[in-house]
């Protein structure tokens, strides 16, 4: 999976080089709308070369890539509330909870 984003190198007022980035969001699909009012733009592998500038793409084509990812190609399950704390960083965070 790849998320659409933008990055930039820039010099701060203190003269230090800063690398910054942003993940681009869009309106949620039906699945994600139950969770939040926006979702990251997920790019299909066929879109990667255009998004990364490896092949020519006009602005209209690139803007069309910023659509919600199809719900029927995604899976969602409940996870621990520990996901919401940046101090937690381990594989078990994506384990399904609530099923016995």
Instruction: Tell me the average pLDDT across 73-99.
Output: 91
pLDDT tens for each residue of 32-54: 999 999 999 999 999 999 999 99
Instruction: Note the pLDDT of residue 85.
Output: 95
Residues 6+ apart with CB under 8 A from 54: 48
Of all residues in the chain, the percent with pLDDT exceeding 70 is 98
Distance CA 49, CA 90 (A): 31
Distance CA 38, CA 4 (A): 14
Angle at 97 between CA 45 and CA 39, to 5 degrees: 35
Instruction: Note the pLDDT of residue 99.
Output: 61
Within 10 Å of residue 39's Cβ, how many Cβ atoms? 19
Full DSSP string of 20-73: EEEE-EE---HHHHTT-S-EEPEEPGGGHHHHTTSS---HHHHHHTTSPPPGGG
pLDDT band at 1 (very low <50, low <70, confident <90, very high): confident
Query: What rounded mean pLDDT belongs to the chain?
Result: 94
pTM of the model: 0.80
Instruction: Tell me the average pLDDT across 70-83.
Output: 93
């Amino acid at each position: 999976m790849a998320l659409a984003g933008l990055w930039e190198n820039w010099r701060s007022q203190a003269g230090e080089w800063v690398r910054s980035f942003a993940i681009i969001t869009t309106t949620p699909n039906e699945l994600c709308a139950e969770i939040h009012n926006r979702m990251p733009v997920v790019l299909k592998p066929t879109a990667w070369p255009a998004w990364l500038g490896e092949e020519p793409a006009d602005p209209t084509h690139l803007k069309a890539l910023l659509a919600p990812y199809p719900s029927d190609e995604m899976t969602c399950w409940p996870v621990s509330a520990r996901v919401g704390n940046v101090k937690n960083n381990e594989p078990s965070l994506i384990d399904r909870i609530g099923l016995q």
